[in-house]
Amino acid sequence: MSKNSEFVKFDKVDKSYDGKVLVVKDLNLDIAEGEFITMLGPSGSGKTTCLMMLAGFETPTNGEIFLDKNPISNIPPHKRGIGMVFQNYALFPHMTVYENLAFPLRVRKINKDDIEKKVDKALSMVSLSGFENRMPGQLSGGQQQRVAVARALVFDPQVVLMDEPLGALDKNLRESMQYEIKHIHESIGVTVVYVTHDQGEALTMSNRIAVFNDGKVQQLSSPDKLYEEPVNSFVAEFIGENNTFAGEVTNFQKDQCKVKLLNGSEIIANPISVKSNGDKTTVSLRPERALINTENKMDNNFKGKIEEVIYHGDHTRVRIDLLGNKEFILKVPNSSANMDIKMGNQINVSWNSYDARALDPK
Amino acid sequence: MSSETKQILTTDGIPLEASLKKAERKNKIKAFLLVAPLLLFLLITYIFPIGDMLMRSVDDKMVTEMLPKTFKSMEKWNGNEMPPEEVFKSFYLDFQKLVEEKRDGKLSTQLNYTKNGFKSILKKLRRKAKNFEEGNYKEQIMAVHKRWADIEYWLAIKRRAPAYTSSKYLKGIDMYKNEEGKIVNVEEDRRIHRILWLRTLEIAFFVTLLCFLMAYPIAHLLATLPMKYSNLLMICVLLPFWTSLLVRTASWMILLQQQGVVNDFFVMIGLVADDNRPEMMYNKTGTYVAMTQILLPFMVLPLYSVMKTISPSLMRAGKSLGGTPFVTFWKVYFPLTIPGIGAGCLLVFILAIGYYITPALVGGASGTLISNQIAFHMKSTLDWSFASAMGLMLLAGVLAIYWIYNKLVGIDNIKLG
């Protein structure tokens, strides 16, 4: 079976609620069959609107959405065959767990025996067998969430949408549910479109992540690429921690450039979105890519003063005043070699120019 | 486990229960003092009047106290033939005393309720009794008027002997206790109360139904429209609610009368001929229209408050799972609004069943309800005990409906907000 790489296709989709502001701008997005794709972005970035358009609760102002090559803008939600898990679960409070799961099957006029089989299967998939006769109100948040997932999958939909489904759960439960959902996705191979504003969640679960901001997809790539190689300063800021230096390109070459910072010093960086000398830029560097007092040879070496030390158990966060940036963060693994990290000490900080990405100015 | 549970002590050695009680006593007293004014208010303005009404509706002491000797001597009379001389004598003495105290008028009114024709013969007796000679009162009284020699009238007096009576309640459902003490229907052409009860139930039922049919979509809109519009709509719902009941009823009179706005409009668009304007007031139509409009907010508000709590994502979930909009509404939305429907219907039905001003003004003869009859007896016939009896029957009816509702839907399912 060859997988369709354009199973869901957003084609030049615009969306405006009031005719004045575009919430989604010229969205082009292809989702492959069986893929777990996450729309990640701050609130108001248009990601939920995209999901609602796909589910059929909002209509695109312009453009078209295709599902398996068929345009779906004029198909009402109940005929799209798309399962959805809602932020607040949206379980029917007056129905038992069994009736909740049977609802999508009953409206499809499936016969009773098959309904029973499918519901049993779906419940065992989320390890909730034996809960058939409970009311949703008698379940814990995590159990309700699992019922919601089972209900969205029980009728074998082509695509399942999840709108911040774990937002209401506490941290531990959220993490275990992340794995559970990921495993379910792997075992049944359904296409999942997942919306969240939690980057950790997105990085753990997805095949690909679409980072939304200001109604646009800023970057669409796999979690590791997104983290390691952000294409602009919004993505660099939004995903993970990030040290930035604002400056101006002075010596532009194809795979290396020099950036003159505001305090006059120059650093070597990897040109990503700068094109020539004189361009304004923000250089982004992941905290774990900079090392202290290292013996390795690196092309950026500077001295900084330790401003703050915060103990985190497995690692220590060190805030350093470096090259005029007082918010420069370093993550130092807790090993005996790093015992001289004390407030006020001068310290050597080094990094490779490849990891210092010269992006667009903020 | 052992039969006796071990008593738990606090660290100071006081039993835990006693300690807890002591600690909470102050709060309990505070709570009681807070509700005390309301409790007192309810006692004075609600419990006591209803109790008084109950007493009044069965109270028949008036006649019992006015003719004490008569009723005592009647105890031995079997009622098969004319009472003995002793009864006549005690009746004469009781009556003379009432005349002296000028209370004989009341007696004649009361006896006349029991049997028509007492008024005139009591008047005559009063006139003649001045010249009665001592002894042989039976002969003398029977000579006053031929009805005094009729055993029926003496039996009628005897029926008033008990201090308590259910006759008012029987009258309320067009029944009475006849001479033999059997409970029978009154003659067909005099049965008015049963028709009124049935009409009250019918009107209350249909007003509730109409209110429900109209309020459901309004409440749904209120709960789902964006704030900007729903506020406006809410004001439209509440505005009539804030207007005086009389003003609203009067405006319906202006609208509905034969030369009124609605009829003029019908004639203008050619729906009815000018000389054939339908009567929309002083009949059931008027009562239906006006009551439905007036009671509508009582249906809208409970429905609204329940619908407001239903998350819109439930409808979305229903649709995304493949339910058509109708199926989703019927299987998901509607069942969740049942508590609101119950509250609204119960509220409107109970208000409608005791409605008074509107039917009195626009109802005419065929559109008045039982409460209008109660008011009529309070104000015009001054038969307060009958009015009380009917009021209590109405109250009992409402409680019965409440009970049935509780059995069917469950009162804890009601949601008013």
pLDDT tens, position by position, B40-89 = 999 999 888 888 888 888 887 878 888 888 888 888 888 788 888 888 88
Distance CA B133, CA B51 (A): 47
Residue in A287, A283, A242, A285 with CA at minimum distance from that of residue A262: A283
Six-digit token pair at A98? 């069994």
Kind and range of the H or E run holding B92: helix B85-100
Local confidence band at B5 (pLDDT 50, 70, 90 cut-offs):
low
Residue B185: inside a domain, yes or no? Answer: no
| Whether residue B333 is found in the same domain as residue B209 | yes
Region A37-64: mean pLDDT is 88
- Are B317 and A90 within 8 A, CB to CB? yes
Domain count, chain B: 3
* Distance between A58 CA and the closest CA of chain B, angstroms: 11
Q: Which of A1-10, B53-62, B142-151, B334-343 reaches the highest mean pLDDT?
A: B334-343
Local confidence band at B348 (pLDDT 50, 70, 90 cut-offs):
very high
The pTM score is 0.76
Local confidence band at B1 (pLDDT 50, 70, 90 cut-offs):
very low
Local confidence band at A3 (pLDDT 50, 70, 90 cut-offs):
low
- Are A78 and B328 within 8 A, CB to CB? yes
Measured between CA atoms, the residue of chain A closest to residue B327 is A107
| Whether residue B70 is found in the same domain as residue B20 | no
Residue in A245, A294, A255, A215 with CA at minimum distance from that of residue A25: A215
B316 contacts in A (CB within 8 Å)? 55, 57, 77, 84, 86, 90
In tens, the pLDDT along B352-387 reads 998 888 888 888 878 788 888 888 888 888 888 888
Residue B71: inside a domain, yes or no? Answer: yes
* Distance between B339 CA and the closest CA of chain A, angstroms: 12
Q: Helix, strand or coil for residue B325?
A: helix
* String of DSSP letters for B115-180: STTHHHHHHHHHHHHTTPPSS-HHHHHHHH-GGGG-HHHHHHHHHT-SSB--HHHHHHTTEEE-TT
Region B273-291: mean pLDDT is 85
Residue B335 near residue B226, CB atoms below 8 Å = no
Q: Which of A133-147, B57-71, B138-152, B177-191 reaches the highest mean pLDDT?
A: A133-147
Residue B174: inside a domain, yes or no? Answer: no
Of B313, B320, B324, B415, which to mutate for an interface test with A (greatest number of A Cβ within 10 Å)? Answer: B320
Of B313, B321, B326, B341, which to mutate for an interface test with A (greatest number of A Cβ within 10 Å)? Answer: B321
A55 contacts in B (CB within 8 Å)? 316, 320
pLDDT of residue A298 exceeding 90 = no
Q: Which residues have a Cβ under 8 Å from the Cβ of B27 and sit 6 or more positions away? A: none
| Whether residue B24 is found in the same domain as residue B142 | no
B320 contacts in A (CB within 8 Å)? 55-56, 77-78, 80, 82-84, 152, 161
Rg value, chain B, Cα: 31
Task: List residues of B whose CB lies inside 8 A of any A CB.
Answer: 311, 313-314, 316-325, 327-328, 331-332, 335-336
B321 contacts in A (CB within 8 Å)? 78, 83-84, 103-104, 107, 151-152, 155
The whole-number pLDDT of residue A105 equals 92
A residues 19-78 closer than 8 Å to B (CB): 55-57, 76-78
Residue B188: inside a domain, yes or no? Answer: no
| Whether residue B55 is found in the same domain as residue B82 | no
- Are A78 and B322 within 8 A, CB to CB? yes
Residue in A154, A221, A217, A159 with CA at minimum distance from that of residue A191: A159
Residue B43: inside a domain, yes or no? Answer: yes
Residue A339 near residue A294, CB atoms below 8 Å = no
| Whether residue B393 is found in the same domain as residue B341 | yes
pLDDT of residue B38 exceeding 90 = yes
Q: What percent of chain B has pLDDT over 90?
A: 15
Residue type, A242: N
* Distance between A79 CA and the closest CA of chain B, angstroms: 6
Measured between CA atoms, the residue of chain A closest to residue B312 is A90
Q: Is A100 on the interface with B (CB under 8 A)?
A: no
Measured between CA atoms, the residue of chain B closest to residue A108 is B322
A93 contacts in B (CB within 8 Å)? 336
Six-digit token pair at A177? 């549910």
B325 contacts in A (CB within 8 Å)? 76, 78
The whole-number pLDDT of residue A337 equals 63
Which residue range is the domain that position B73 belongs to?
A: 61-163
Region A74-81: mean pLDDT is 88
Residue B235: inside a domain, yes or no? Answer: yes
| Whether residue B202 is found in the same domain as residue B237 | yes
Distance CA A355, CA A304 (A): 19
| Whether residue B147 is found in the same domain as residue B231 | no
| Whether residue B242 is found in the same domain as residue B308 | yes
Six-digit token pair at A199? 């980057």
- Greatest C-alpha distance within chain B: 101
Nearest to B322 among A86, A92, A155 (CB): A155
The whole-number pLDDT of residue A327 equals 84
Among candidate residues B59, B74, B92, the one where a domain is terminated: B59
In this structure, what DSSP letter does residue A86 have? Answer: B
Q: Is A83 on the interface with B (CB under 8 A)?
A: yes
Residue A77 near residue B316, CB atoms below 8 Å = yes
β-pair type (A280-285, A243-252): antiparallel
Nearest to B317 among A79, A81, A86 (CB): A86
| Whether residue B1 is found in the same domain as residue B134 | no
Residue type, A285: L
- Are A94 and B335 within 8 A, CB to CB? yes
Residue B391: inside a domain, yes or no? Answer: yes
Region B176-189: mean pLDDT is 77
Residue A62 near residue A82, CB atoms below 8 Å = no
Handedness of CA A137, A141, A146, A149 (dihedral sign): positive
Average pLDDT, chain A: 85
What structural domains does chain A harbor? 8-233 (3.40.50.300), 241-359 (2.40.50.100)
Distance CA B349, CA B398 (A): 9
Angle value at C-alpha B240, between B239 and B243, nearest 5 degrees: 95
- Are A78 and B336 within 8 A, CB to CB? no
Q: Domain of B365: which CATH number?
A: 1.10.3720.10
| Whether residue B270 is found in the same domain as residue B378 | yes
Distance CA B157, CA B115 (A): 9
Region B304-332: mean pLDDT is 90
Nearest to A77 among B314, B319, B335 (CB): B319
- Are B336 and A82 within 8 A, CB to CB? no
- Are A104 and B327 within 8 A, CB to CB? no
Among candidate residues B15, B37, B59, the one where a domain is terminated: B59
In this structure, what DSSP letter does residue A117 have? Answer: H
| Whether residue B279 is found in the same domain as residue B389 | yes
Residue B187: inside a domain, yes or no? Answer: no
Measured between CA atoms, the residue of chain A closest to residue B309 is A93
| Whether residue B329 is found in the same domain as residue B361 | yes
Residue type, B326: F
β-pair type (A357-359, A82-85): unpaired
Q: Is A156 on the interface with B (CB under 8 A)?
A: no
> Taking the C-alpha atoms of B39, B45, B46 and B47 in order, what is their torsion angle to the nearest 10 degrees?
70
Which 3-state string (H, E, C) describes B33-80?
A: HHHHHHHHHHHHHHHHHHHHHHHHHHECHHHHHHCHHHHHHHCCCCCC
